[in-house]
Structure 1
Amino acid sequence: MASLLLRSAATLIRPCLQRSNTPVSSVLLSRLYSDKKPPETDSFVMNTFLGRMNTTEVFPYPDVMSTEERENIAMFVDPVNKFFEEVNDAARNDKEETVPPEIMAQLKDMGAFGLQVPTNLKGLGLTNTQYARLTEIIGGYDLGVGIMLGAHQSIGFKGILLFGNEQQKEKYLPMVASGEKIAAYCLTEPTSGSDANSIRSRAVKSDDGKHYVLNGGKIWISNGGIADIFTVFAQTPVLNPATGETKDKVSAFIVERSFPGVTSGPPEKKMGIKASNTAEVHFDNVHVPVENLLGGEGEGFKVAMNILNNGRFGMASALSGTMRKLISRAVDQVSNRVQFGNKLEVYGVVREKLARMTLAHFVTESMAYLLSGNMDSGSVEFQLEAAISKIYGSEAAWMVADECIQLHGGMGFMTECGLERVMRDLRIFRIFEGSNDILRLFISLTGLQFAGKHLRAVQSSIKSGDVNTLFSEGFKRTKRVMGMSTVDSINDQVHHKLATSANQMAQCVGEFGGACDHLLMKYRKNIIHEQFLLQRLANASIDLYGMAAVLSRTSKSLSDGSPSANHELLLATTFCQQANSRIKTNLASLSARFDIELDSSMADIAKATTENGGVVSVHPLRI
């Protein structure tokens, strides 16, 4: 087998040697490493696009809280649960489409508006993991209140926390942490939903250089009608010192409602999260002091994306809380409801639903705390993991709510049951803070861009005579051709009871990397236009991260002797088996002729429908 691999590798790398301008003898004598090193990252998801597993941020499952931090957050759990169980009335909030003043006052007293603001600036100073634990509780009771609080701190003033200078932090954070002032994040415009670079709001520096004059309008702003502090994004003319050229770039600003020219519209009428205020915000010749520039001039896009990436982790934890409550409601229903002489819980169809609901919750929760733990450990490259947790959590929660209603039958459809409100509230999560469709493209294109840079670096290394890279790439490609795994086993990092699932993941990572390699070689830069393929690639990536999260979590539970370890083992192995099947199907469809032809047919149907202004087929009755 070894000699066969050597001969096969030689066959694959010979064309590379022949294309090189350096004779083979010179190659062997040249330095082994090129100056152009491939890009490196500890991100698990990013590395899978190269067909390799960097488990630095996956194993072991993070245990980032000190004893003191664990005790501190434990002190909040029961009071917060009790408040949302006994004091806050989610149905009333939904009906009245507001959070009542007395509830707002009590939330302020609890410190709920400054969970992650440092204690010296009047906040609670919670870590990401502690924050996630509290958002999980809120998500189980009232997503409307959760959005109000999240829009305030997860994104509203998060830019000040991440990018503000000391003066900005000292001025603004105490007032937003106490809840004295509410914050909002102003990015979306009528022409710039997912495309943040296309915003038209504009800020031009005044002649005296003391202000930026801001004009424009924002739509669908959470807390927009009640906020006093806004993080606003606008185009500004930026001079390039090297070229002398002035070009519009997005900049970020801290804007106060008290500044003349700031107004907001009436509350929007929405499908769900009605308790949270959503409104348009308008800026008419607003003079924003230059010291309120957030980050550097022209760095607004980076500020905006970092805020969103940093805030998304809380969505998965909140939605896992929603799912936990829905599953409890479903179990109560099927354990007590009798039909055809038996309780619903004995029927196979019902059990299948409960199993899928429980699996979805387990994966979401595992992702949420893996991500928050990595962030608390100092990870800075988690944008793909955050996007995945948002996509998976929002779609899983929607499925769980839908099935919970189904298990309640007609009662689930009634307002008094309360489930229809939860489902209405959940619908927005697949849209805001990056729609799931756009985030899927973001995952695939970001990962492929990283893989493309690595590919170019490898090609450069080979041309410069790096023999190690030459043979390494040759062996890897040979193994793929022969159907062998290109990823080393991680059985030493997982509990031995999870060995089979770990091997499934390793094989899938290797095949995933091969699929990415194939797409880059076939389509090159045109891959950006192959969105049918990019969606499937993203789905495979989501499943891979889900496998990593549950394997890591369950390994820790088994090693720690957790009372639910054996159940978690069942959940993890079941999910990995399902994910393994889905990944293989998605990867195979990237090059399968049948699937590609089907994509073309789907595109043709959509094109015809669009050109016709609606359904093309003639009504069967012809009248």
Structure 2
Amino acid sequence: MIRLIRSYKFLRLRKTSVQYFSARTNMDLKDIKSDTKSSQLKNSSSFMMNIFRGKMLSAEVFPYPDVLVADEKELILSLVDPFEKFFTEINSASRNDENSSIDGTVLNKLWELGAFGIQVPEKYGGLGLGNTQYGRLCEILGANDLSVGITLGAHQSIGFKGILLFGTQQQKEKYLSKLTTEKVYAAFALTEPSSGSDAGSIRTRAVKSDDGNYFILNGSKIWISNGGVADVMTVFAQTEQVDLATGEKKDRVTAFIVERSFGGVTNGPPEKKMGIKASNTTEVYFDNVKVPIDNVLGGEGNGFKVAMTILNNGRFGMGATLAGTMKFCIQKAVEHANNRVQFGKKIKEYGCIQEKISQMNILQYATESMAYTISQNMDKGSKEYHLEAAISKIFASESAWYVCDEAIQILGGMGYMKEAELERVLRDLRIFRIFEGTNDILRLFVALTGIQYAASNLKFLQRAFKNPANNFGIVSTEISRRVSTSIGLGTIDFNPHIAPELQNYGKKAANCIELFGKSVERLLVRYGKNIINEQYILKRLSNAAIDIYSMVVTLSRASRAIKLNLPTAQHELNMTKVLCIQASNRCMDNLRNTSAESELEMIDVMEEIAREVCNKGGVNTTHVITN
């Protein structure tokens, strides 16, 4: 009884602490709304959203999703061979890199293969593939040539994806066929010199003509993939919108379908880049471009939503692509380790090399598991995958960099040479932590979006406790949950969902989720709406979330392998065990560090160091030689 009373008081203390917030980053935080007036709590089906409440919704992760029916598997398998043959017989990634371009013969063959319309419905000339099938082809791209992958992705994953997702029937009929079969390239024009991650601050402007039939578009965009070759672009610009309720005029971003043939669309020379050199990247300029009113995409003033939906929708493909890249790097490393002899033994027999190869494969396995969990949920109709997709992008891009770097290390001096091809892959990989949402911004997006969802739950519980008699079920359930966790009886149980051999490791993940929910609640109490400014803490919270998701998807996939008695089951089991040990340790450390006094002290000192360095314009120490 005492515990029940304490739990009740524990909730009451939060009445003035839980706040709502919004943030304007290139992830759609400013448009996330909380329904504070509703008497009903809005629930999410997203697995990751719910861990911010310390809860597990298993439907999207257990059992590991298998959505492709026999015909769909047969179709994608029939496409794998010609795509792989294209890369072995026609394309040369090294030549493309050397020339900083993809020659016409290669591009023409890609058009013949249908590679520029993979997810476009067949009635418009596309292959009509789903997300999971698309991911399988992305793997092949990633394993062979990331520049070609960027060219294709810029065209369809973001370039004309808005037409697929938001286009009217008229817009789809007008554009999709030519973008799929007529060698017309597309591009996605969002980023500007003054707005990188803060997409809401774009300055390109579109003003409606007096007759209301056109928008006159002026401005410029930078770092646009396919910018020098695209004849159709999805362009985002500020437009003046009138609030119908108040009459107030406000600037809101609107998305447009812009054709080069409209006139006034030009571009600069191709950028000279560190990597993905063969993909075309340019500035694009718009000078009094007359865009027909019919080319507004997704409605006036809805451009921010359009942009973020496009980016969220395409992120899973990056995970699949980089899973393929990691396979290539691992193959190179293993070939060398199997043959290189040092000190009388093949280097594969040395523990330090074995550790590297094991870690590389674990990361590849987790990346692939994430990508296909998300894609198959999307194919099942899930609409709430934005946190999972962001996590997948972060994890994949950072894991691929690590794997490629370690592959070079295993090859030693040979890995540093062009002939081994790994130096090109490393250069190509660096951009993936930057574009389509920098990993730094995505980490904030993950943490803040989830925290807001948790905050809405606390608000709801506060209202319930004001009138416990009418909300007895809600109150009693919450108190029971708190009492159970306070005495060590966890409410999260993975055992029904995972193989018996993995149950100890499932417990590690369950413990992390429970501590995660408590940590989020504690942070809300401590910081309230100011949590948005605690980026050191938010980063650690986000890192914990990433580790939790990596554990869960691998636990699910390895359990599937055991259930199906796959020949790789024991190998998958072993990789999952190691990942869960590593990830749970990191997760616990990160969660403790969100409130540890020593960590908070360190954060304060680091902020002071950063301010001093920035104020001085660089390194600010007295040199030992001169003083």
TM-score bracket relative to the smaller structure: over 0.9
1:9 matched to 2:14? The reply is: no
The equivalent residue for 1:576 is 580
User: Which residue in the other structure is 1:25 paired with?
Assistant: none
Q: Aligned partners of 2:486, 2:608: CA distance in 1, in Å? A: 34
Query: Could you tell me which of 541, 545, 548 is aligned with 2:549?
Result: 545
1:560 is matched with which residue? 564
Give the Cα–Cα distance (whole angstroms) in 1 for the partners of residues 268 and 484 of structure 2.
61
Aligned equivalent of 2:27 = none
Residue 298 of structure 1: SS of its match in structure 2?
coil
- The answer on 1:612 being equivalent to 2:606 is no
The 5-angstrom pairing of residues 376-391 of structure 1 reads 376-391=379-394
Q: In structure 1, what is the equivalent of residue 226 of structure 2?
A: 223
Report the counterpart of residue 24 of structure 1 in structure 2: none
Q: Which amino acid aligns with 1:424?
A: R
Matched, 1:520 2:524: yes
Shift of 1:603: 0.9
- Inter-partner Cα distance in structure 2 for 1:478 and 1:530: 30
Summarize the alignment of residues 120-519 of structure 1 with structure 2, pairs less than 5 Å apart: 120-465=123-468, 466-482=471-487, 484-519=488-523
1:496 CA displacement: 1.5
User: What secondary structure, in the 3-state scheme, does the structure 2 residue paired with 1:279 have?
Assistant: strand
Q: Secondary structure at the match of 1:614?
A: coil
Change (3 A) 1:547 1:221: same
Q: Does the aligned pair in 1 maintain the 2:362–2:575 contact within 8 Å?
A: yes
Matching residue's letter, 1:525 = K
Q: Which residue of structure 1 lines up, in the alignment, with residue 22 of structure 2?
A: none
CA distance in 1, matches of 2:301, 2:357: 50
Relative distance call for 1:291 and 1:333 in structure 2 (3 A) is same
Which AA in structure 1 matches 2:324? G
Q: For residues 594 and 16 of structure 1, what CA distance do their matches in structure 2 show?
A: 28
1:494 and 1:551 in contact (8 A); partners too: yes
Classify 1:618/1:69 alpha carbon distance in 2 versus 1 (closer, same or farther; 3 Å).
same
Give the structure 2 partner of residue 38 of structure 1.
Answer: 41
How far residue 114 of structure 1 moved from its aligned partner, in angstroms, is 0.1
Query: Which amino acid is the alignment partner of residue 468 of structure 1?
Result: G
AA at the equivalent of 2:472: V
Q: Is this contact kept in 1: 2:485–2:491, CA < 8 A?
A: no
Distance of aligned partners of 1:19 and 1:178 in 2 relative to their CA distance in 1, 3 Å threshold: closer
Q: CA offset at residue 464 of structure 1?
A: 3.0
- In structure 2, stretches of 5+ residues that fail to align are 16-36
1:485–1:510 CA contact under 8 A, matched in 2: no
Q: Conserved in 2, the CA contact under 8 Å of 1:401 and 1:423?
A: yes
Deviation at 1:16, TM superposition (A): 5.8
* SS of match in other structure, 1:85: helix
User: Residue 28 of structure 2 corresponds to which residue in structure 1?
Assistant: none
Distance in 2 of aligned mates of 1:563 and 1:44: 29
State the partner residue of 1:80: 83
Q: How many residues align?
A: 604
Q: 2 CA distance for matches of 1:531 and 1:292?
A: 39
Output the CA distance in 1 between the equivalents of 2:620 and 2:410: 37
Q: CA deviation at 1:590?
A: 0.9
The letter for the 1-side match of 2:6 is: T
State the match for 2:19 in structure 1: none
Distance 1:559 1:183, change over 3 A: same
Percent identity reads 53
* Offset of residue 619 of structure 1: 1.5
2:603 matches 1:599: yes
Aligned 8 A contact 2:14 2:462 in 1: no
CA contact under 8 A between 1:114 and 1:179: conserved in structure 2? no
How has the CA–CA distance of structure 1 residues 497 and 19 changed in structure 2, closer, same or farther, with 3 Å as cutoff? closer
Structure 1 residues not aligned, in runs of 5+: 1-5, 21-33
Determine the structure 1 residue equivalent to 2:540: 536
How far apart are the structure 2 equivalents of 1:575 and 1:569?
A: 10
1:53–1:487 Cα contact (<8 Å) kept = no
Structure 1 residues 230, 493: closer, same or farther in 2, change over 3 A? Answer: same
Once residues 621 and 12 of structure 2 are traced to their aligned partners in structure 1, the CA distance between those partners, rounded to angstroms, is 57
Give how far 1:177 is off. Answer: 1.1
Distance 1:95 1:275, change over 3 A: same
Q: 1:18 to 1:560 in 2, by over 3 A?
A: closer
For the 8 Å contact 1:485–1:507, the answer to whether it is kept is no
8 Å Cα contact 1:202/1:236 also seen in 2: yes
Distance 2:506 2:9 in 1: 34
Distance across 2 between alignment mates of 1:159 and 1:124: 18
Q: How many angstroms apart in 1 are the aligned matches of 2:93 and 2:342?
A: 31
Superposition TM-score, scaled by structure 1 size: 0.95
In terms of mean alpha carbon deviation, does 458-467 or 198-207 score higher? 458-467
- State TM-score, norm by structure 2: 0.95
SS in 2 for 1:258: helix
Residue-by-residue CA offset, 1:11-31 (whole Å, 9 max, x unaligned): 2314767999xxxxxxxxxxx
Q: How far is 1:414 from its partner?
A: 1.2
Asked if structure 2 preserves the Cα contact closer than 8 Å seen for 1:480 and 1:514, the reply is: no
> Conserved in 2, the CA contact under 8 Å of 1:51 and 1:486?
no
Farther off after superposition, 276-285 or 34-43: 34-43
C-alpha displacement of 1:486 = 3.8
Comparing 576-585 with 426-435, greater Cα deviation is found at: 576-585
Q: How far has the Cα of 1:481 moved from its partner?
A: 4.0
Match of 1:23 in 2: none
CA contact (8 A) 2:481 2:491 kept: no
SS in 2 for 1:312: helix
Q: Deviations over 1:115-162 (max 9, x none)?
A: 000000010000000000001011000000000000000000000000
Q: Residue 603 of structure 1 aligns to which amino acid in structure 2?
A: E
Aligned counterparts of 1:69 and 1:312: Cα–Cα separation in 2: 22
Shift of 1:494: 1.3
Deviations 1:310-336 (A, max 9, x none): 010100000000001110110000110
Task: Go from structure 1 to structure 2 and tell me whether the alpha carbon gap of 1:612 and 1:416 turns closer, same or farther (over 3 Å shift).
Answer: same
Deviates more, 1:407-416 or 1:434-443: 407-416
For the residue of structure 2 that corresponds to 1:188, the secondary structure is coil
